[in-house]
A and B are shown apart, each in its own frame.
Chain A
């Protein structure tokens, strides 16, 4: 069977898997942003916590993804088979790019601007919210963009622990030794990644302060 024929005959199943895939990615990214951005703000003034946070998230990044999914299965509450475990793993992968870019964005600001802000009598919170954060926004978004593209790719492996998504076709195709079935998962995943990269890139340029 040609890839095109397989695609046509399974289109509703593929669409379904794509939506599942997207749901996994969106949930994982929301959680990762909710953790990494505030953590990034917190570590600006705390060198000890900074070393721990950046070190730990770097370690998560080095664990091979299939192994990480495997490690999580026996862990109570966050582990097991299925979507929840997959989301935990995806969040762990997405943390580093967002955290690092948030930190770099918040600290890479022209010292003259920060000096002026302090000398004008802005409080530390006002400087963070009204000066550092707006100026760092495009760099933080660049981190979110990188993390999103990585997450879309890694999420294909989530099918190995029964979380569904486009990886289902890839694993099935590998088992059947069928390129057509593998491509039915791989092509939509690649298109998702390209689309996310493009759209977030547009947003990033819009938020950039000259």
Chain B
């Protein structure tokens, strides 16, 4: 194996000059000419205001959307060449409010992808138990409950467990902790940070919260009006000289008149 293919194999997700426009109308670009390589095992946080195109970028990875121009590759294959169903079963997905199925029990929610993949029931049950423990929920207490009987934080934990069920190498997370109260949010961020470093997954994490980005990201990509305007590890990110970076770092400063 030569050096070039070795480097290729280390890249889990690659955006090559990707533009996405609604209905392919060129003047309605949501994402403009984005190029980005994400290495295996790293956590890239896509930071940006609402409407900056960060969720769109995420949906281009699991083929919920197809690029208008350019190419998105996952594990070296263009998403346009992949069967969307197979592609998505190999990519975990966590969204705000978890998107759990209200008519399924917690165990059925977590075991969804293994069920679709036709694992035998013993293996699914064991996997569900393992995952509930991993995200800090007691399987005996929670397996048989329905999502409506859980708190927001607990639902979000189930959402993470469901995404990890079939052990996908890639995890996409769209503001997963966005709807939680500040205390629960900080708790889940800390736990998830520890979990992420243990699992060694490739994670793409979307947020509008710079604190969350600094805490979780091995690199932070800043999106502004559909353009990727900055990309740097957290320690370098704060020193970048770009007006949008300043706008975000300004939100970090303690507000006047509030005691520390």
A-to-B contact residues, CB < 8 Å: 110, 112-113, 115-123, 126, 131, 134-135, 209-210
Contacts and interface: CB of A to CB of B under 8 A. Distances in A.
A131 B116 CA distance: 13
A210 B85 contact: no
Contacts of A210: 102, 146, 148
B88 A119 contact: yes
Contacts of A131: 101
A119 B85 contact: no
B200 interface: no
Contacts of B86: 121
Interface residues of B, number: 26
B113 A113 contact: no
Given A115-B64, A119-B64, A120-B113, 13 more contacts: A112-B98, A113-B99, A115-B95, A115-B99, A119-B91, A120-B89, A120-B162, A121-B86, A121-B87, A121-B89, A126-B116, A131-B101, A135-B102
Contact of A119 (B93, B116, B148): B93
B35 to A, nearest CB: 24
B100 interface: yes
B104 to A, nearest CB: 9
Contacts of B101: 113, 116-117, 131
Contacts of B97: 112
Interface of A is mostly: helix
B112 interface: yes
Nearest to A116: B99
Given A120-B112, A121-B113, A210-B148, A113 B102 contact: yes
B116 A120 contact: yes
Contact of A121 (B85, B99, B148): B85
Contacts of B98: 112, 116
A117 B98 CA distance: 11
